[in-house]
Amino acid sequence: MTNMPKVNIENINADTLTDEEREIFNIIIKKDNSVRASKPKVKDALTGRASYVWRMVCFQVSPKPAHQCMPVCANFDLKDEDWENRREVEKELEKLIDIIVNGIDKSEWHGIKRWGRALGY
């Protein structure tokens, strides 16, 4: 069993998060502050967005090699109401993705390290 990275809550200014961002955060971050090990089920627009954020976060920080594959289909979890404006929705969600990833210690950025090595950095 692989331990998922934990978010240092002290590094996150919760006051800057919108209500939706807090909901998404609570869907993908467990009570012990670790990132979920599995993708949330997509039931509606909110869980579709949470699934997208989870996939992009896991691509960067998960120690599981399967999560470090290019997330080219991540936006397929966005629901119909988001699909037409998906580029704008993705840009909005990128802010939350960055907040979560930056809240995780850099020593836990497993996907970033792996892709860095693959690209010669």
Q: Is the sign of the CA dihedral 7, 54, 59, 34 positive or negative?
A: positive
Is 104 within a domain?
Answer: yes
Report the number of distinct structural domains present in the chain: 1
Is 1 within a domain?
Answer: no
Q: What is the pLDDT of residue 111?
A: 92
- Cβ partners under 8 Å of residue 57, min gap 6: 28, 35, 97, 100, 101
Is 2 within a domain?
Answer: no
Q: What is the pLDDT of residue 13?
A: 79
Q: What are the start-end ranges of the E strands in 2-55?
A: none
What residues are paired with 7 via a beta bridge?
Answer: 104
Is 3 within a domain?
Answer: no
Is 69 within a domain?
Answer: yes
Q: What is the pLDDT of residue 2?
A: 64
CA 50 to CA 56: how far, in whole Å?
10
Instruction: Identify the domain containing residue 76 by its residue range.
Output: 9-118
Question: What string of pLDDT tens digits covers the 121 residues of the chain?
Answer: 569 999 998 878 777 899 999 999 999 999 999 999 999 999 999 999 999 999 999 999 999 999 999 888 888 888 877 777 888 999 999 999 999 999 999 999 999 898 988 888 8
Q: What is the pLDDT of residue 85?
A: 87
Q: What is the pLDDT of residue 98?
A: 96
